[in-house]
Amino acid sequence: MQLHAGSDVAAVEPDSRQHRPSSKWAFDAEVTQCFEDMLRRSIPEHYAMRCAVIDIARHYIRPGGCVVDLGCSTGGAVYSLLSEYGKENRLVAVDSSKPMVEAARRRFARDIAAGRISVERMDLRNSYPEVQACVTLCVLTLQFIPMEHRQVVVREAFRHTVPGGAFILVEKVLGKSAGLDSAMVSNYLRLKRANGYAQNEIVLKRRSLEGVLVPLTAAWNESLLTVAGFSEVDGFWRWMNFAGWVGVRPGA
């Protein structure tokens, strides 16, 4: 059976440098249109990080199992997994942004019709996909959820993970001290300038994200996983103030 797995539309997406947030950050239609370009310019080692996420996921995907993507945006992270595992596995992608969900549904229209993936609009603060997953992706998603809800979300992920299944988390993080954090942020801003963003564009985006994107320390993120019940928690990727972990639910 031939799998379509949507379409990789990144090459024709608008340049994210044209986006000018005027108030609080929102994943609206304008952001959705240029989102993949925005990720490439804003997330350090974006391609390498995404490849690392997929490589880790492969170790825990089982035939007939379910793969969940929390905060799927336009479907970029789950795209490769659908191409590779859509024949034998069910994929569930959720996001709270209506424009993102609509874009992902257009991207995966044929796969949705074939029953290989479902894309749902969902606010993780008050609901969670009712499936048992062998792998759950949570890539740059938890940082946008209010802190008082994050442990609940991770506990729900644990509750909806099969024994031996994995939860894969990627987040922007704070440094252990103000000095270390300042050094890492300085390098991050230098990277954004090297990727084509002008200083005024960087300032506008930082201001719009204040109070919307709230990072935690790496230790705090690891604690969210261990307190929820995940074992074998370990980091698999880090660049300055961005990091990725995998946590495994005990059992065979």
- Is 9 inside any structural domain? no
Phi and psi at residue 13, to the nearest 5°: -75, 150
- Is 14 inside any structural domain? no
**Is the confidence at residue 3, as pLDDT, over 70?**
no
**Is the confidence at residue 17, as pLDDT, over 80?**
no
- Is 242 inside any structural domain? yes
Q: Which comes out higher in pLDDT, residue 230 or 13?
A: 230
Q: Which comes out higher in pLDDT, residue 133 or 9?
A: 133
pLDDT value at residue 23: 76
**Is the confidence at residue 5, as pLDDT, over 70?**
no
pLDDT value at residue 242: 98
**Is the confidence at residue 221, as pLDDT, over 60?**
yes
- Is 10 inside any structural domain? no
pLDDT value at residue 20: 66
pLDDT tens for 191-212 read 999 999 999 999 999 999 999 9
pLDDT tens for 135-188 read 999 999 999 999 999 999 999 999 999 999 999 999 999 999 999 999 999 999
Range of the domain at 195: 24-248
Evaluate the CA torsion angle 7, 11, 14, 16 in order and state its sign.
positive
If pLDDT is split at 50, 70 and 90, which confidence band does 22 have? low
- CATH number for 127: 3.40.50.150
**Is the confidence at residue 11, as pLDDT, over 70?**
no
d(CA 82, CA 67): 9
pLDDT value at residue 15: 80
- Is 83 inside any structural domain? yes
Chain-wide mean pLDDT for the chain? Answer: 92
pLDDT-wise least confident of 31-35, 51-55, 72-76, 139-143: 31-35
d(CA 155, CA 146): 15
If pLDDT is split at 50, 70 and 90, which confidence band does 6 have? low
Residues 6 or more apart whose Cβ sits within 8 Å of residue 218: 173, 176, 235, 238, 243
pTM: 0.92
Total domain count, the chain: 1
